[in-house]
Amino acid sequence: MYELLMKMSGEDCYTLTAEYPAKMYVEEQGIEIVYPTGNSTFIPHNMVDKAINQLKRQGQLTVEDVYEGITNRNGPITDRLFAVLRKLPGVTFDKRPRKLYYIK
C-alpha cells in the first residue's frame, strides 16, 4: 500500500476532524508533510508501514492505537499519519472518535 501513497506524492491530505490541509511528499525514506505555513513534519516509512499493517490486520485503527503504539505519543505526527492513511483505497473514517476502518 505504500506504493500507492508514492503515486499520490504532491497531493493534499487533510486531518480527520478539522480538515486542515497539507501537501504530502512521499519518498522511499518516508513522507514529508508540508503545511501552508511552510513548516513540515516527517513521518518515517517504517512508521507508516506499521500503521498500514495494523489497520489491515485489525480492520480498524484508533487514535490511541497510533498515539501510544506507533508515533510514541507525538500528537502532530499522529494527526498527519491519519490524514495520509485516509487517502488509501478501502479506508473510511469516523471523526469522533477518530478512527480509521479498512474494508478489503
C-alpha–C-alpha distance, residues 18 and 98, integer Å: 11
What integer pLDDT is reported at residue 86 of this predicted model? Answer: 96
Note the pLDDT tens digit of each residue in 35-83: 999 999 999 999 999 999 999 999 999 999 999 999 999 999 999 999 9
Domain ranges of the chain: 2-102
What integer pLDDT is reported at residue 81 of this predicted model? Answer: 96
Note the pLDDT tens digit of each residue in 6-25: 999 999 999 988 899 999 99
Contact partners, residue 21, CB within 8 Å, separation at least 6: 12, 13, 14, 36
Q: Is the pLDDT of residue 85 over 90?
A: yes
Contact partners, residue 57, CB within 8 Å, separation at least 6: none
